[in-house]
Amino acid sequence: MRTALVINTLSGRGRAGFLAERAVSQLHGDDIRRYIICDGSILQPMEQVLRGVERVVVIGGDGTFASTAAAARLLDVPAALIPCGTGNAVATALNLTPERTLDLLAAGAVPRPIDLLDAGSSTATFCVGIGMDAAAAVEVSRAGLRHWGKAAYLQALWNARRRYLSWPMKVVLDGNLVFEGYLWECLVMNAANIGASITIAPDARPDDGLLHLRVFEGLAPSLFKITAVATNAARTGKDIGLGSLYSGRSVEVSSDRRFPVEFDGEPSAPREHLNVTLTPAALRVYY
């Protein structure tokens, strides 16, 4: 099988190279085309890298997978993710570890289709965050906290909480107004969990044909409360228990002032309007 191996050498503090060798040993019968990202920059169009291959194996984090998945979707190439980034949010949503992905490849598993969240030229695998979560993603990048690992999110959330309390927003789901007023967080989900197994949309699956929307109304609570609630949810596996939950196929969020946005933990440009639509069975993934 013709396989493209996309390796981000900056991921995992050098672990990417080790995982790449393990992947090569698992795929010993494949015709492997390696593409190495040495400095975090993608110098060659990913469509060109993937043209003519039968599958792609990504060794890196959320950003590397996102850029590769966009081309894989366009060319209908199934994708595997061997996670070794900082956040690994996509891997968490799909219950993937390096060992599990390697086992799936070794066993000759068949890739399964997953839905994707589309917002114009941007796409998310499992989550589009609006408000506080997105502001924290911006802080992680701005303050150079990525090397802190999971502690980076708490520090970034603290920084974001000091700057923002809420945004005046209108939220429309499938053409119906579901919220208008001040909110501090809005999460559009294509999976049940984010972060450290924090349950946001308990019934969500990446192949259920629905997006799941959680709206956190009012002013942002204290960082202590946010941390306590998130920690308890991660520890118990129960629903986070805040905000209102909806499901549908498309959501439109608008405001009279620009709000922060993130796609799978990667910050995007602030905007006053965002339309997110679920596209069913858009990408085939080994998970």
**CATH number for the domain that contains residue 188:** 2.60.200.40
Strand partners, 114: 283
Task: Using a pLDDT cut of 90, give the percent of the chain over it.
Answer: 53
Q: Which of 43, 75, 110 is the last residue of a domain?
A: 110
**Shared-domain flag, residues 106 and 210:** no
H or E element: which one contains 172?
strand 167-173
pLDDT tens digits, one per residue of 50-79: 999 999 999 998 888 988 998 999 999 999
pLDDT tens digits, one per residue of 3-53: 999 998 888 777 888 899 999 988 887 899 888 875 555 557 889 989 999
**Shared-domain flag, residues 171 and 265:** yes
**Shared-domain flag, residues 130 and 272:** yes
Question: Is 116 inside a domain boundary?
Answer: no
**Shared-domain flag, residues 17 and 54:** yes
Distance, CA of 88 to CA of 106 (rounded, Å): 22
**Shared-domain flag, residues 103 and 204:** no
Question: Is 287 inside a domain boundary?
Answer: no
Distance, CA of 273 to CA of 262 (rounded, Å): 13
Helix (H, G, I), strand (E, B) or coil at 256: strand
Q: How many domains does the chain have?
A: 2
Question: Is 79 inside a domain boundary?
Answer: yes
What pLDDT score was predicted for residue 98?
95
59 and 26 Cβ atoms separated by less than 8 Å? no
Residue that has been written with the tokens 């996102």 in this structure = 66
**Shared-domain flag, residues 157 and 21:** no
**Shared-domain flag, residues 67 and 88:** yes
Whether residue 133 is predicted with pLDDT greater than 80 in this model: the reply is yes
**Shared-domain flag, residues 96 and 127:** no
CATH number at residue 58: 3.40.50.10330
**Shared-domain flag, residues 106 and 180:** no
Distance, CA of 40 to CA of 268 (rounded, Å): 17
**Shared-domain flag, residues 142 and 238:** yes
Question: Is 115 inside a domain boundary?
Answer: no
pTM of the full structure? 0.85
**Shared-domain flag, residues 9 and 77:** yes
Whether residue 111 is predicted with pLDDT greater than 90 in this model: the reply is yes
> What tokens appear for 58 in the block?
């990504």
Identify the domain containing residue 238 by its residue range.
122-281
Q: Which of 48, 76, 110 is the last residue of a domain?
A: 110
What pLDDT score was predicted for residue 124?
93
Question: Is 117 inside a domain boundary?
Answer: no
Q: Which of 110, 142, 165 is the last residue of a domain?
A: 110
**Shared-domain flag, residues 55 and 89:** yes
